[in-house]
Structure 1
Amino acid sequence: MKPSKEIRILLADDEPHIVQFLEMGLVNEGYTVRSAPDGMSAYGLAMDFRPHVAVLDVMMPGMDGYHVCRMLKEAGNAVAVIMLTAKDEIDDRVKGLTIGADDYMVKPFSFDELLARIGARLRNQFPDLLGEVALGPFKVDDRRGEIRYEDRLLELSPTEYELLKYLVLHHGTVQSKAIILDKVWGYDFGGEENIVEVYIRSLRDKLGDKEHKLIRTLRGAGYRVDLP
């Protein structure tokens, strides 16, 4: 998903391989990213960079993530703070939330989960930044819950909207039925995988994709949206 406006994200972690991996992924998603190896550097960078979201590791040399979070909030910065920790203790979460952290993630975590948490914070605290996302012939407006295809507004049910949005935003990659069920219907969905086929068929009808060139079926693997 490519944000419609510049969205700035600050990463602070003393593990270089984690920072490199996250920075590469976030830049690929269209975010503007800066990183710091310790708390003091992170705070100084934040004063100049003015991030919308700060992802802070709790355990950093010199100044820990809690301290950085507290200073950012006390400085009046309009920044959403996501804390990262290797611990899964309730007391640690309470401490982070008490000093102003907006969310909390325990290592190890998936990149998709971090993306989801960042997206949630942006929708909550900076809704005007997300706007409309244009990808090929599609325009996805998450604020209005609308998708246009070749400038034609599609009449979609809520589930059709979420499914098409997911496939379009992950265009060029194969999505299995299991992954689609997890991402669109939720991990606790108790129905059959065939429900995905039913919704794919409905989307193809509404897109006029009779030859399945837009939403392709890869037998035994899943579905893939190919954009011109």
Structure 2
Amino acid sequence: MRVLVIDGEPRTAALLRRGLTEEGYVVDLASTGPEAVWRAHEVPYDLIVLDVLLRGFDGFEVCRRLRAGGCWPPVLVLSARNEVSDRVRGLDAGADDYLAKPFSFAELYARLRALTRRGGHARPALIAVGDLRLDPATRRAWRAGVELRLSPKEFALLELFLRHPGEVLTRTLILEQVWEYPCDGVSNVVDQYVGYLRRKLDQGGRASHLETVRGAGYRLLNPAPVTSG
């Protein structure tokens, strides 16, 4: 497993290289924005660990340029800045995950394993399933051409379903992906928000296509596109 670590601070880069190498990864380093983009296009990396503060241009711009150039290995952003706005910037730029400094190597390894399972593939600008469309960058969604008014959690929930059409998503997985905390066995927040989302998707007599799978979770069926005539 080959990893590109992009960090402008030599001591941090060396620490990451040592830790990842001990975990069995093959690690290359880049210290500036331009070098990072060049290396990522030259070598088929399995993963990229990307710091935000770089010379040349920052990590957000690195991620944007990689995605715009068709380079799709999973990207984990590392940053000492843990403001929500920074996390949103990273994810909107095309990153797959965001880890705040200081961090534990145990958590870093776990997140990299999760990204490895996800794999690298092109993420289209618009996600579409049937007559549903969603734009992650502008945070807008439509059903049959009609824009939906969604809360941030409803939007995140719809995006999760659209990225996994036809798959049964457990409540635990949904909590971890949308609310970022594990299931406590008591909370019914997932059921509540699926209900909210269903009502907003159920427009003009069209079913929401969000199916309850008893004892398992929820699944977005792939509805047929609306046709005229």
Q: Deviations over 1:60-119 (max 9, x none)?
A: 111110011011111112310111111110011111111111000111111111111100
1:12 touches 1:37 (CA, 8 Å); kept in 2? Answer: yes
Match of 1:157 in 2: none
Match of 2:45 in 1: 51
Per-residue deviation at 1:29? 1.5
Match of 1:203 in 2: none
Match of 1:35 in 2: 29
Of 98, 102, 109, which residue of structure 2 is paired with 1:104?
A: 98
1:22 aligned partner, one-letter code: L
1:12 aligned partner, one-letter code: I
5+ unaligned residues in a row in structure 2: which ranges?
Answer: 121-180, 185-229
1:17 aligns with 2:11: yes
1:8 aligns with 2:10: no
Match of 2:156 in 1: none
Of 56, 60, 65, which residue of structure 2 is paired with 1:62?
A: 56
Which TM-score applies when normalising by structure 2?
0.51
Match of 1:115 in 2: 109
Of 63, 67, 73, which residue of structure 1 is paired with 2:67?
A: 73
1:93 aligns with 2:69: no
2:81 aligned partner, one-letter code: K
Per-residue deviation at 1:25? 1.4
Where does 1:200-211 land on structure 2 (aligned, <5 Å)? Answer: none
Whole-Å separation in 1 of the counterparts to 2:39 and 2:93: 20
SS of the residue aligned with 1:26?
helix
Whole-Å separation in 2 of the counterparts to 1:49 and 1:28: 21
What is the number of residues matched between the two proteins? 124
Runs of 4+ in 1 over 6 A off after TM superposition: none
1:52 touches 1:78 (CA, 8 Å); kept in 2? Answer: no
Whole-Å separation in 2 of the counterparts to 1:78 and 1:96: 15
5+ unaligned residues in a row in structure 1: which ranges?
Answer: 1-6, 127-186, 191-228
2:69 aligned partner, one-letter code: A
Match of 1:125 in 2: 119
Q: Deviations over 1:144-190 (max 9, x none)?
A: xxxxxxxxxxxxxxxxxxxxxxxxxxxxxxxxxxxxxxxxxxx99x9
Whole-Å separation in 1 of the counterparts to 2:33 and 2:73: 16
SS of the residue aligned with 1:60?
coil
Which TM-score applies when normalising by structure 1?
0.51
1:85 touches 1:105 (CA, 8 Å); kept in 2? Answer: yes
SS of the residue aligned with 1:69?
helix
Match of 2:77 in 1: 83
